[in-house]
Structure 1
Amino acid sequence: MAKQSKLLIFILTIGVFGIINTEMGVIGILPSLADHFEVSVSKAGLLVSLFALVVAVSGPTMPLLFSRINRKKVMLLVLGTFVLANIISIYTTNFTVALIARVIPALFHPIYCSLAFSVAADSVSKEEAPKAVSKVFIGVSAGMVIGVPIASFIASTTSLQMAMVFFAVVNAIAFIATLLFVPSMPVKERLSYGVQLSVLKKIITWQSIIAVIFLNSAIFGVYSYFAEYLKTVTTMSTNAITIMLIVFGGANMIGNIVAGRLLTKNAGKTVVTFPFILGAIYVLFFLFGPFSAPMLFITFIWGILAGVGANINQYWIMSSAPKAPDFANGLFLSSCNIGTTIGTAIGGLFISGIGTQYVVLVGFLSLIVSFITIALRNYMYSPSKQLSI
């Protein structure tokens, strides 16, 4: 059973990597895509922003709609959709067709990711669930961090089409592995849509959603402008900035492993202390921003915390609605995307208003809001209050 569980989690990690890689990998080849489709870079950016927007909108709804169907069949449907969409992207020369080939898989994106987290958690004991989920998160981090430079490297050394082939191949590998090695997973308890939606009637769910929105805003509101910060404040070269981004990404993957252990050992303490630790890093970020050596160390620790934060976000919403796991994971994905959007917008306002070095303020403000909602949930739903989740 242990070997089967490890293989299942490994396949889920590859699948998540393939899906996130499809979403984020185009960032590294946007200029090439703009040239290929003969559009401006800003218009080509729709291939990224429209994908993210669709994921945010479909996050709560699509996992809910597919929550009563055999999980293996649903995963094969999603992976198959991604493979076909990527194949279309390889051959099309029409930008509108390329956009459609991005929007359709984006609709299915939350289904696979929410299922991956749920299935990983269900494959082990309740106590070991955070560790299992953290391993799947490695696929998320790898998709975000490794996918971009790999796609860019392939496009620059071979061709744009070969970079697209890379996206298709990874998803095809996940599809074949799922088909051959993942057992049939019929839904044992088919919850009605009404029962799943009823979690939205509970205050704890909304407290958790708000906390996750602003925890993600705290991280990505700053990270979205990290390269600009390193360029203007730390005055690093392009190559040095690339190294820093790789350091952040590698540390992020380490953070997923750390998070699994922390949440398994003491989830409550981990969640409560996280805003303070991240806030302390942002203080160092602000004070030592102009200095390259300290920023290397700060970036490494920040990357670990970002990995831990992603796991906390998933755990916090899942723990607020444990009876509707697929729907809860959909809410998690939407909340994270909304948080990224809000944080990026506010961070941009700080940069344009008072300067790039003050982008950390979006981190501080977001952490304050998230901590208040975390503390409020803990107070209202502490054992002494005897309130049921």
Structure 2
Amino acid sequence: MPKQNRLLIGILTLGVFGILNTEMGIIGLLPSIAERFEVSVSQAGWLVSAFALAVALSGPILPLLLSGIDRKKVMLLVLGVFVLGNMVAVFTSSFWVALAARVIPAFFHPVYCSLALTVAAASVRKEEAPRAVAKVFIGVSAGMVVGVPIASFIASAVSLQMALAFFAAVNILVFIATALFVPSLPVVERVAYGEQLSILRKSLTWLSVAAIIFINSAIFGVYSYLAEYLKTVTHMPANWISILLFVFGAANMIGNVIAGKLLAKQAMKFVFLFPFALGAVYILLFFTGQLSWPMAIITLVWGILAGIGANMNQYLMMSAAPKAPDFANGLFLTSANLGVTVGAPVGGLFIAQMGTPYVVLVGILSLVFGFVTIVARNSRILAGRQLSR
């Protein structure tokens, strides 16, 4: 890969980290935010849920509307909005202003992430695209997992304002790097809105959406309660729970690298095997999750598979609609968020009705539905190939 392309992908990876860090890093700050703005923790939770809702709503829309504009200009616009929102959150004394300062940038979240995936794939040869995308996903994983403890540490060691300023600092750094080192990226072949929207008429698109929802539900329906599982089932002390959460995050990044290689070589075989691999992990989790060392190993393997799953989901959508990459990536982001939205509450329902160990059932059931959808999707691909002959 040329040096210029490596620098571009590095900036995109850091940019995605900054965006996801802004989204997820706030989770560890909710008690401090509730105290600062004199609201309940549940009210402070709107800073998380409203952000996610805005992402889900804008995912298919804004990437499509901005798909014809120079990609560098769009990325600078999004980063500028995030910097401004972050800075307002640092200095405001109003909870509602802080909420608006998060929700407005959230609408632009899918735009940057979609562009980052599209530009990374387009910057290399077609056969190297999965590896380039996998590198960008390292920023996604780091933003989702590493941002929370970093922000929490800064808030406890210095202040809440400095933790919020950390979000702004990352985005400012990426804004400067993009302005200085990313070349102009005009859209060479602009795809008409109608042509991009036409992918919604394809059954393959909707089968891909369903598969992504089920796979992400399988991952996050269980992962959302990992800390609770480690506390109540494995009976681990708090410090060990923190360590294993870091292990999961680091393993997630390793999974991104592995996925890039697997998807570049034997994509469909790998897609078929994934539900069985993750399902085996959940079965082991159910029967050995009360034992500390087996649980540590399971968490490591689980984290790797979760990182692989994120890349696989993006591949499913992009391979279904390669001629509309921006819109397809927007659909991917919305589908992935819907998977989390469905999986997490269903997992909580299993815990409430049957107990914490049975949270694995939401993962296993989602994997069953996901596999059925993947089989249907593959059958549709084979039927399309036969018709084209």
Structure 2 length-normalised TM: 0.99
Q: Give, in angstroms, the shift of residue 383 of structure 1.
A: 6.8
Q: Map 1:203-214; keep pairs closer than 5 Å.
A: 203-214=203-214
Q: What is aligned with 1:88?
A: 88
Q: What is aligned with 1:105?
A: 105
Q: In 2 relative to 1, CA 384–109 (structure 1 residues): closer, same or farther, beyond 3 Å?
A: closer
Q: Distance in 2 between matches of 1:117 and 1:61?
A: 17
Q: Distance in 1 between matches of 2:101 and 2:272?
A: 41
Q: What is aligned with 1:161?
A: 161
Per the alignment, in what secondary structure is the counterpart of residue 372 of structure 1?
helix
Q: What is aligned with 1:150?
A: 150
Q: What is aligned with 2:364?
A: 364
Q: Give, in angstroms, the shift of residue 259 of structure 1.
A: 0.4
Q: Distance in 2 between matches of 1:35 and 1:178?
A: 36
Q: What is aligned with 1:120?
A: 120
Q: Give, in angstroms, the shift of residue 384 of structure 1.
A: 8.0
Question: After superposition, what is the alpha-carbon deviation per residue over 1:243-272, rounded to whole angstroms, capped at 9, x for unaligned?
Answer: 110110000000000000010111111111
Q: What is aligned with 2:241?
A: 241
Q: Give, in angstroms, the shift of residue 129 of structure 1.
A: 0.1
- The amino acid across from 1:216 in the alignment is N
- The amino acid across from 1:298 in the alignment is I
Q: Distance in 2 between matches of 1:9 and 1:215?
A: 26
Question: After superposition, what is the alpha-carbon deviation per residue over 1:252-299, rounded to whole angstroms, capped at 9, x for unaligned?
Answer: 000000000010111111111000000001110101011111000000
Q: What is aligned with 1:186?
A: 186
Q: Distance in 2 between matches of 1:383 and 1:355?
A: 44
Per the alignment, in what secondary structure is the counterpart of residue 183 of structure 1?
coil
Q: Give, in angstroms, the shift of residue 145 of structure 1.
A: 1.2
Q: Distance in 2 between matches of 1:341 and 1:286?
A: 23
Per the alignment, in what secondary structure is the counterpart of residue 189 of structure 2?
coil
Q: Distance in 2 between matches of 1:148 and 1:387?
A: 50
Q: Distance in 1 between matches of 2:120 and 2:12?
A: 8
Q: Distance in 2 between matches of 1:30 and 1:132?
A: 34
Q: In 2 relative to 1, CA 387–381 (structure 1 residues): closer, same or farther, beyond 3 Å?
A: farther
Q: What is aligned with 1:302?
A: 302
Q: In 2 relative to 1, CA 348–7 (structure 1 residues): closer, same or farther, beyond 3 Å?
A: same
Q: Is residue 51–residue 103 contact of structure 1 (8 Å, CA) maintained in 2?
A: yes
- The amino acid across from 1:122 in the alignment is A
Q: Distance in 2 between matches of 1:344 and 1:144?
A: 16
Q: What is aligned with 1:261?
A: 261
Q: What is aligned with 1:140?
A: 140
- The amino acid across from 2:317 in the alignment is I
Q: Give, in angstroms, the shift of residue 189 of structure 1.
A: 1.2
Percent identical among aligned pairs is 68
Question: After superposition, what is the alpha-carbon deviation per residue over 1:20-66, rounded to whole angstroms, capped at 9, x for unaligned?
Answer: 00000011111001101100001000001110011011100010010
Per the alignment, in what secondary structure is the counterpart of residue 235 of structure 1?
coil
Gap regions ≥5 residues in structure 1: none
- The amino acid across from 1:313 in the alignment is N
Per the alignment, in what secondary structure is the counterpart of residue 266 of structure 2?
helix
The count of corresponding residues between Structure 1 and Structure 2 is: 388
Structure 1 length-normalised TM: 0.99
Q: Give, in angstroms, the shift of residue 311 of structure 1.
A: 0.1
Q: Give, in angstroms, the shift of residue 111 of structure 1.
A: 0.1
Q: Distance in 2 between matches of 1:92 and 1:72?
A: 30
Q: Distance in 1 between matches of 2:360 and 2:301?
A: 15
- The amino acid across from 2:140 in the alignment is V
Gap regions ≥5 residues in structure 2: none
Q: Distance in 2 between matches of 1:278 and 1:66?
A: 36
Q: Is residue 381–residue 387 contact of structure 1 (8 Å, CA) maintained in 2?
A: no
Per the alignment, in what secondary structure is the counterpart of residue 264 of structure 1?
helix
- The amino acid across from 1:193 in the alignment is Y
